[in-house]
Structure 1
Amino acid sequence: MTGPTGLATRKITPDLARGLLLALIAVANAHLYLVDRPIGYRGYPSGLTGADAVIAVVQMVLVDGRVFPLFAALLGYGVARLADRAPEAVVRRRGLVLIGIGALHGVLLFPGDIIGAYGLVILLTAPAVASSTSRGLLAAAGAVGAFAVFLASGASGPQGVPTVPSIAAPTLGAFLAGHPGEWLATTLFSALLTAPAVLVGIVVARSGTLDEPAAHRGRLALWATGGLVAGVALGLPLALAVVGVWSPTGVVGGLVAAAHAAGGYAGALGLLGLMGLLGSVSWPGRGLVAAAGTWSMTLYLSQSVVFVAVFATIAGGLGRTATLTTATLVGLATWFVGVVVAGLLARAGHRGPFELLVRRLTYLGGKSTAL
């Protein structure tokens, strides 16, 4: 067993995928900060028209419900690599550290935090990472995923209220008051939804597909094509509901919500395949985005700082008036600035502050300054 992996020995494709994924996370979260208006399906404002409606449909079939399973798969990849060089106790400690960071993020800034859920999944699956076969992990992923899709069918109607109501809170006290309960509920449900993707990510790591993408272009192309087509097809019915084309109710509404959730897993696999293909060829900016991917947790947390500062009523207040187009552009601009700054710092040999914190706490004084 050894300590953390050094920067020079990292594979570029997983980091590239994390860097690109941060753009999708920014887009996925930005619309949740739109408040003081009727809220429909999946936290989107009701009555979207024009460019806002087009953006909503694109996000629903390519981003919404697809991003966090993809992030979870990359987490599973990292967990498998950690388990290759560290004992189970270290893997469990990594899970506890992520739960702690997620709790702070959720209570202080954004109760829709996903880090705590990933930490919980790591904690619960740590014993199986080294001992289970890939076939067993995929079987478990299928069973848990089917149950998660079934539960998702219950959330079939318009929300009525913002996903993050505290964004509209007029005072700091009111802003913070509801976060603990909201974070806990989100963490438990998100852990269930993302656990299958974490298990699949462990299997992907074992396959070596992301380590040598040029040698697996056929497999990656199959993932990209099949996953994205299935994700779009399964997500389109709910996407059309978001923009008011129809209003599925009853059993039909449940089936539409379940299809969207199932499409999330397929779409995540498709995006992973696409990012793997992008990692197999050279293109301008690839190295910078991959370098920024080594700061993925720091950049994810920094996005919440920016969004609260810009959108929350107690700060910039833009969430009360911004359109979906504006929110999306703010999200993409936040990602772009983060990639440039973090990418340049990473290339200069600097580690992300939260990445350093996680490693120091995980290895308890070991080689925490390495990656």
Structure 2
Amino acid sequence: MTGPTGLGTRTITPDLARGLLLALIAVANAHLYLVERPIGYRGYPSGLTGADAVVAVVQMVLVDGRVFPLFAALVGYGVARLAERAPESVVRRRGIVLIGIGALHGLLLFPGDIIGAYGLVILLTAPALATSSSRGLLAMSGAIGVFVVLLSSGASGPQGVPTVPSIAAPTLGAFLAGHPGEWLVTTLFSALLTAPAVLVGVVIGRSRTLDEPAAHRGRLAVWAAGGLVAGVALGLPLALAVVGVWSPTGTVGGVVAAAHAAGGYAGALGLLGLMGLLGSVSWPGRGLLAAAGTWSMTLYLSQSVVFVAVLAVWAGGLGSSASLVTATLIGLATWLVGVVVAGLLARAGHRGPFELLVRRLTYPRARTSDR
């Protein structure tokens, strides 16, 4: 077994994808804080018009339900790298560490946390990662994915309540009191939702497609074109429902919800292909974004700090009155500041604090400084 990978030995494309992905995560989470108004489909406020409606449609076809499967695929990529150099026990330990960090995040800040769900998936699939072929992992992914899509058909109408109800709590005490139950339910459901993408990410990691993107531009282009087209087409019907163009009900509503879920997996693959293509060529800012991607967990957690401080009802309270456009801009500004700060620190040779914590807990006997 070897220890953790040093910064100098990392390939740029997965980290670039993580850096870009953080912008989409910020956008996906920011709208969940718009809680003191009627809530429609997918946690969006109902009655959106004008620029808010345009932003909602764009988010629904390119971000909503697409971001966390994409993040999961990159988690799977990382697990594939870990499994190559470490035994199953270390892979399981990584999963336990992520569950612990996710619990702290969910209990203290944002019960919509996704880190714990990824940790649970890693913990449960660790034996399969060591023994199953790529074909076997894809078959497992497909079976779980079909179940998730069918399950999603049951959530076909407007929510009526916020996706994360505790965000609307008027006091800090009420805010924290709602977190344990919300985090547990979110973690279990999100683990099921993202497990197919984690397994696909492991297969992608084994294929070395992201490690050598210039040699796989054809494959990446197929992923990008096919995935994005499918993701937009399957997500558009529910996107139009979000902005009030129509109100699918009954069986039609179930089909629309299931299509959106299926489009999430397709869209995630499309975004990953696009990010792989961006990693295959040089362009201004690529290095800084990739450097920031090495701090992805720290930046993800820091976004929650900003959103709670600025948007939560009991704290900054801006979520009570902000438009969707404003919340989106706050998310993007948070991402941009994080990229600049983390990118510069990473280029100077500094690991993110939570990345260091994960490595130290995963490799308790290994030296975790960069080599």
TM-score norm. by structure 2 comes to: 0.99
Structure 2 equivalent of residue 137 of structure 1 = 137
Partner deviation per Cα, 1:341-370 (whole Å, 9 max, x = no partner)? 000000001100000000000011312223
User: What SS class does the counterpart of residue 161 from structure 2 fall into?
Assistant: coil
1:321 aligns with 2:296: no
The share of aligned pairs that are identical, in percent, is: 88
**Cα shift at 1:167:** 1.8
Between the aligned partners of 1:236 and 1:41, the Cα distance in structure 2 is 13
Higher mean alpha-carbon deviation, 257-266 vs 128-137, is at: 128-137
Between the aligned partners of 1:72 and 1:367, the Cα distance in structure 2 is 27
**Cα shift at 1:67:** 0.2
Structure 2 equivalent of residue 64 of structure 1 = 64
Structure 2 equivalent of residue 258 of structure 1 = 258
User: What SS class does the counterpart of residue 111 from structure 1 fall into?
Assistant: coil
Match of 1:328, as an amino acid?
T
Structure 2 equivalent of residue 174 of structure 1 = 174
Between the aligned partners of 2:99 and 2:54, the Cα distance in structure 1 is 36
Match of 1:193, as an amino acid?
L
Match of 2:153, as an amino acid?
S
User: What SS class does the counterpart of residue 5 from structure 1 fall into?
Assistant: coil
Structure 2 equivalent of residue 13 of structure 1 = 13
User: What SS class does the counterpart of residue 327 from structure 1 fall into?
Assistant: helix
Structure 2 unpaired stretches of 5+: none
Is this contact kept in 2: 1:167–1:319, CA < 8 A?
no
Structure 2 equivalent of residue 299 of structure 1 = 299
Structure 2 equivalent of residue 24 of structure 1 = 24
Between the aligned partners of 1:122 and 1:359, the Cα distance in structure 2 is 15
TM-score norm. by structure 1 comes to: 0.99
User: What SS class does the counterpart of residue 239 from structure 2 fall into?
Assistant: helix
Between the aligned partners of 2:170 and 2:32, the Cα distance in structure 1 is 17
Partner deviation per Cα, 1:78-120 (whole Å, 9 max, x = no partner)? 0000001111000000000000000010011101000000000
* RMSD between superposed Cα atoms in Å: 0.7
User: What SS class does the counterpart of residue 90 from structure 2 fall into?
Assistant: helix
Between the aligned partners of 1:255 and 1:170, the Cα distance in structure 2 is 37
Is this contact kept in 2: 1:231–1:266, CA < 8 A?
yes
Partner deviation per Cα, 1:239-266 (whole Å, 9 max, x = no partner)? 0000000000011100000000000000
Is this contact kept in 2: 1:62–1:267, CA < 8 A?
yes
Structure 2 equivalent of residue 231 of structure 1 = 231
Match of 1:153, as an amino acid?
S
Structure 2 equivalent of residue 93 of structure 1 = 93
Counterpart mapping for 1:146-165 below 5 A? 146-165=146-165
Structure 1 equivalent of residue 351 of structure 2 = 351
Is this contact kept in 2: 1:103–1:116, CA < 8 A?
yes
Structure 2 equivalent of residue 116 of structure 1 = 116
Match of 2:21, as an amino acid?
L
Partner deviation per Cα, 1:171-225 (whole Å, 9 max, x = no partner)? 1110111110000000000000100000000000111100000000000000000
Between the aligned partners of 1:368 and 1:256, the Cα distance in structure 2 is 47
Structure 1 unpaired stretches of 5+: none
Structure 2 equivalent of residue 49 of structure 1 = 49
Between the aligned partners of 1:187 and 1:313, the Cα distance in structure 2 is 23
**Cα shift at 1:130:** 2.1
1:247 aligns with 2:238: no
